[in-house]
Amino acid sequence: MKKIFSITLIVFCFLNANAWGSKGHAIVAQVAFHHLDEATKKNVLSYLDGMTIEEAANWMDNIKDDHSYDYMKPWHYANYGEGKPVEILQGANIMYQLEQTLKALEHKDTLTKAEIKLKILYLFHLIGDLHQPLHLGYGHDKGGNTVQLNYKDKGTNLHSFWDSGIIYYERISLSDCLQAQTYSATELKSLQKIDLLIWGNDSRTLLGAVYDYKKAKVSNEYVAQSGLLIEKQLQKAGIRLAGVLEKFFKS
């Protein structure tokens, strides 16, 4: 019994560890490569220099224990008041850092290979984070981190539940995300048009559904409905990441 309890505790500690969880971020990268042409894949992989796309997508979470990277911790999110639109404000936040990364890549001929690799790592991770609505959440509850929930008699918080818990319980897979929504060629092109404000506000419109859990002890229905939204968000993140990578690394 003690062994079973220990395993369960380890699983839940892991679920609370990272944004979107390692599986969610890996899926974003995999969806992106599903939508990329071979030339862009080859060029991106050459800059990653042996790192897999799954490792690239999770790098910004995996280095959190290295205090030399502590300055990056606020880069994963931006908080706004209820009813407020997403803005790009200078500072250590996801919107500004993504904007600066895109601007730097406009002049990638002035960057070293190591610098370009770092920018790619930012893109893989932060475009994923941008599509988790609570990473553009409310300051008063720290993006859902102070909202306590219970599911299957396990305590968690709203942010962690959306980052990892729902993906775990709904067993969300790459296949689920690739099939989450069907887009025409025209719709894909529109979806991939690089506009951080549109992307951010699009994600933030889901906050109503995120907070619609009725009771602190959340229902299976809430988890199932949220799972469908998460599949679509992971798919969108991957498609948009593919668009960005193709823009800067096709040739």
Domain boundaries, the chain: 2-249
pTM greater than 0.85 (yes/no) = yes
State residue 140's pLDDT score.
Answer: 96
Return the SS3 of 148.
Answer: strand
Residue recorded with tokens 């690394």: 249
* Biggest alpha carbon–alpha carbon distance for the chain: 59
Report the 10 Å Cβ neighbour count for 3: 7
2-249 placed in CATH 1.10.575.10: yes
List Cα–Cα distances, 151 to 106, 132, 146, 217, in angstroms. 45, 20, 16, 6
State residue 20's pLDDT score.
Answer: 82
End-to-end CA distance of the chain: 57
State residue 251's pLDDT score.
Answer: 83
Alpha helical stretches, state H, the chain? 2-15, 21-34, 38-48, 53-62, 94-105, 113-130, 158-160, 166-169, 174-178, 185-191, 196-204, 207-210, 220-249
List Cα–Cα distances, 58 to 18, 61, 63, 120, 122, in angstroms. 9, 5, 9, 12, 10
State residue 19's pLDDT score.
Answer: 66
Mean pLDDT, 10 residues at a time, the chain of 251 residues: 35 45 96 97 98 98 96 97 95 98 97 98 98 97 97 97 97 98 96 98 97 97 98 98 98 83
State residue 18's pLDDT score.
Answer: 52
List Cα–Cα distances, 82 to 139, 141, 204, 215, in angstroms. 9, 11, 10, 20
State residue 199's pLDDT score.
Answer: 98
Is residue 124 a contact partner of residue 20, using CB atoms and an 8 Å limit?
no
Is residue 158 a contact partner of residue 146, using CB atoms and an 8 Å limit?
no
Name the pairing type of β-strands 148-151 and 154-157: antiparallel
Chain center to CA of 122 = 11
State residue 87's pLDDT score.
Answer: 97
Is residue 242 a contact partner of residue 32, using CB atoms and an 8 Å limit?
yes
CA angle 128/129/134 to nearest 5° reads 140
Distance between CA atoms of residues 229 and 33, nearest Å: 21
